[in-house]
Chains A and B, each alone.
Chain A
Amino acid sequence: LLDDTEFISDLAFDDLQNEYRIKKKEILKLVDKDFEKSKEDRISKKIEGIQQDQYHRKVLNACILPFSHEGPLADLGYYFYRASPLSELDSTLNLDFLLLHPKPPTLAIFGEAKGQLNDPDRIVDETKKRIKVVYENLPYLQDNYFKFKGELEFVIGVWASYGNEIAKIVERKQGGIKVWSTGPQLDSTKSELYLVRPPAGRNPNAQTMFHMDQLLNQNLSAHIETVFEYKTIFPQSHIFAKLSLLALIREENDHLNSRIFLKL
């Protein structure tokens, strides 16, 4: 690219140079004006994105933490295996977490966490598409994750206020998905994770909304203590969340440097 002063001197004639300067100023002004006009919008969109990511992480963390430490669910033989299973396959249709019961009867529980529900019907439909992708990739899963022969179950985890709403929709749409809910409880000082019981009725789909393992159902019905902060970022986290980790690494390096400096 040509340097601006070089370009101006190349223009050679005074009137051309002046005209160039005036036009340039006008264009820059216009760009600034446009930017100012859309600034608020851009900022609020970014903030919204960050907030959505925060909500999503909270629900996701609440779903996986009880399976990551010594507690009632580990006693039952359930473990958190990984986040964003199958995300490496370049499919946008992967789920958020994978839990495992490795000892017979082996069971893998795939889950999708939702922080906010703008369109609950679409969320259920989309989760079904993601479930299909899991079944399509079973051989890959067995080759690359673990040699798995057993049942698969699927979960949607949502914030407390959306639990019943999403459960109704799942039931209406042939069931097959378990609904977990999390959030602070009004009658308890703890943050909890629990299984949302499908609406009482004679709908046969309701039965498919319980886990096969009765003990897991019982534990999750009794409200399991959890937290909303565990993993800082996930492969699909908002870019800002990922950048914050970079800042931490940078700080860590600075810290080391200062320590080395002190020792010298």
Chain B
Amino acid sequence: LKVPDNQYTLETFVEYIVDNVEEGFEERKERKTLKAYLLYVAKDWKAIFSGLKSVALGDIVRISFNGYESNEIDEPFTDFYIYQWMPGLIVMFTSSTREEYEKTLKHFISHTRGITKSWIRPSLLDQMKNYLIENYDARVYRFIARRYRYWKYPARIRPDYDRRLNYTGEDANQTLKEVQDLYGMIPSSIDIRTSNWKMQINRNGLFVIRQVNRKTFGILLELIERIVAEQVRIRNTSEKFNVETRKISTGTEVIRIPRITAGKITLPNTILNQVMITRMFNPSEIYDVGQSETEDEEIGEIEREFSFVDTYVREDPLVFTATVVDEDKGTVFGISGSDRVVSVIPKHRTTFESFVRFYDLVTLNFDSDANLTLFSELIA
């Protein structure tokens, strides 16, 4: 994606792109595809990208991974354009291919503290899909769905199998509902089209527009607007979890006391049991479903980034505890739970995205309607 240096607002940036599709996507001869990654970032997100080449273009910031890690990637080299939607939530626009993305941004996200994908929980993704179907007379024509045997998402047929389905068909929406119900699969990617445009929405916060014009760009921004409130709430709650030493005055002197802000995930639809927790602590090897090289699935494997140590599980009634290590981001936190509540206790080197990711793990594994709150917050 090439946008000339200028001072842009989001509106003028979009204007330029839709008016100059040929120039903007010059390097992509065949497919002029726009991608938008919705990402959670630390509030001072510009510092996260400080090691990369960046150019401020008004409200838009262009960053280039040129010279980052390796120069193996052949030209054309694609840039990413950042717009801060609200504090802590950015959108990165690009026309990069999957290969380029994996070598640059994906790697950057999984190894940098203070940035993570904005995972969309299954029920919200479903709402987005239905919104497009109802308001734009759109049809689902393709989807990729997955199931891992350790998920407790209900499945009527062989729940204990890992599976992945890439389905294309006129009846894709019905099929998606059927595989959700029968096979307990969750879509990671949904392709939607009308007679004029095609769009893809992904559980990892990636949006793909296949025909770039004013209409489709408008729909993209509308979709993002519809989910940001919920997304940013999860991010902001996660950011509050921390440990600190506070000074308090006793009247005659100042003493230092340890303080903690812990979190709580409450499960409205699921009663946890020993088997479920033991599986979370000791994940089995995932069956390699042999994804084809040519398939354009951005979400890829769901990474196993948490290690559970010093674990304890007992039943009747259920009690479990563990120390959890986020292997990618370095955060160490504790969990302690009963059959309906998983408390999250920050310990060392905490960064909000570890809790975002752990919450996502709980929504997938146990209850897609799980609530994330502060520990001291009362749940109605």
Asked whether, in the complex, the Cβ of A69 is within 8 Å of the Cβ of B319, the reply is no
Top 8 closest pairs, chain A to chain B, by CB = A229-B334, A227-B336, A189-B340, A102-B250, A229-B336, A229-B321, A184-B317, A227-B343
Asked whether, in the complex, the Cβ of A80 is within 8 Å of the Cβ of B250, the reply is no
Asked whether, in the complex, the Cβ of A248 is within 8 Å of the Cβ of B325, the reply is yes
Taking CB atoms and an 8 Å cut-off, the chain B residues in 102-119 that contact chain A are 111
Q: Does A36 contact B (CB under 8 A)?
A: no
Taking CB atoms and an 8 Å cut-off, the chain B residues in 328-346 that contact chain A are 330, 332, 334-341, 343, 345
Q: Does B261 contact A (CB under 8 A)?
A: yes
A residues less than 8 Å from B345 (CB atoms): 65, 227, 229-230
Asked whether, in the complex, the Cβ of A190 is within 8 Å of the Cβ of B310, the reply is no
Asked whether, in the complex, the Cβ of B261 is within 8 Å of the Cβ of A229, the reply is no
Asked whether, in the complex, the Cβ of A79 is within 8 Å of the Cβ of B248, the reply is yes
Q: Does B375 contact A (CB under 8 A)?
A: yes
A residues less than 8 Å from B341 (CB atoms): 189-191
The residue on B at minimum CB distance from A148 is B250
A residues less than 8 Å from B339 (CB atoms): 189
Query: Can you list, as one digit per residue, whether each of B236-278 has a CB less than 8 Å from chain A (1) or not (0)?
Result: 0000000000001111110101111110000000000000000
Q: Does B309 contact A (CB under 8 A)?
A: yes
Q: Does B128 contact A (CB under 8 A)?
A: no
Residues of B within 8 A of A (CB): 51, 69, 111, 248-253, 255, 257-262, 309-310, 312, 317-319, 321-323, 325, 327, 330, 332, 334-341, 343, 345, 347-349, 375-376
From B248, B253, B260, B343, A147 is in contact (CB under 8 Å) with B253
Could you list some 26 contacts between A and B, CB below 8 A?
A69-B376, A70-B376, A79-B248, A100-B255, A102-B250, A102-B255, A104-B251, A145-B255, A146-B255, A147-B252, A184-B338, A186-B317, A189-B339, A189-B340, A191-B338, A191-B341, A225-B375, A227-B334, A227-B345, A229-B321, A230-B334, A232-B323, A232-B347, A244-B309, A255-B327, A262-B69
A69 to B376, CA, bound (A): 8
Taking CB atoms and an 8 Å cut-off, the chain A residues in 58-87 that contact chain B are 58, 61, 65, 68-71, 79-82
Asked whether, in the complex, the Cβ of A54 is within 8 Å of the Cβ of B260, the reply is no
Asked whether, in the complex, the Cβ of B262 is within 8 Å of the Cβ of A69, the reply is yes
From A69, A79, A263, B261 is in contact (CB under 8 Å) with A69
B residues less than 8 Å from A263 (CB atoms): 51
A164 to B253, CA, bound (A): 39
- Shortest beta-carbon distance, B375 to chain A, in Å? 6
- Shortest beta-carbon distance, B367 to chain A, in Å? 13
B residues less than 8 Å from A106 (CB atoms): 250
Of listed A69, A104, A263, residue having the most chain B CB within 10 A: A69
From A80, A183, A252, B257 is in contact (CB under 8 Å) with A80
- Shortest beta-carbon distance, B248 to chain A, in Å? 6
The residue on B at minimum CB distance from A64 is B258
From B258, B312, B327, A58 is in contact (CB under 8 Å) with B312
Asked whether, in the complex, the Cβ of B325 is within 8 Å of the Cβ of A103, the reply is no
A255 to B112, CA, bound (A): 11
- Shortest beta-carbon distance, B256 to chain A, in Å? 9
A residues less than 8 Å from B348 (CB atoms): 248
Contacts A80-B258, A227-B336, A227-B343; is A71 near B322 (CB within 8 Å)? Answer: no
Asked whether, in the complex, the Cβ of B319 is within 8 Å of the Cβ of A184, the reply is yes
The residue on B at minimum CB distance from A99 is B257
From A65, A70, A190, B338 is in contact (CB under 8 Å) with A190
Q: Does A241 contact B (CB under 8 A)?
A: yes
- Shortest beta-carbon distance, B18 to chain A, in Å? 37
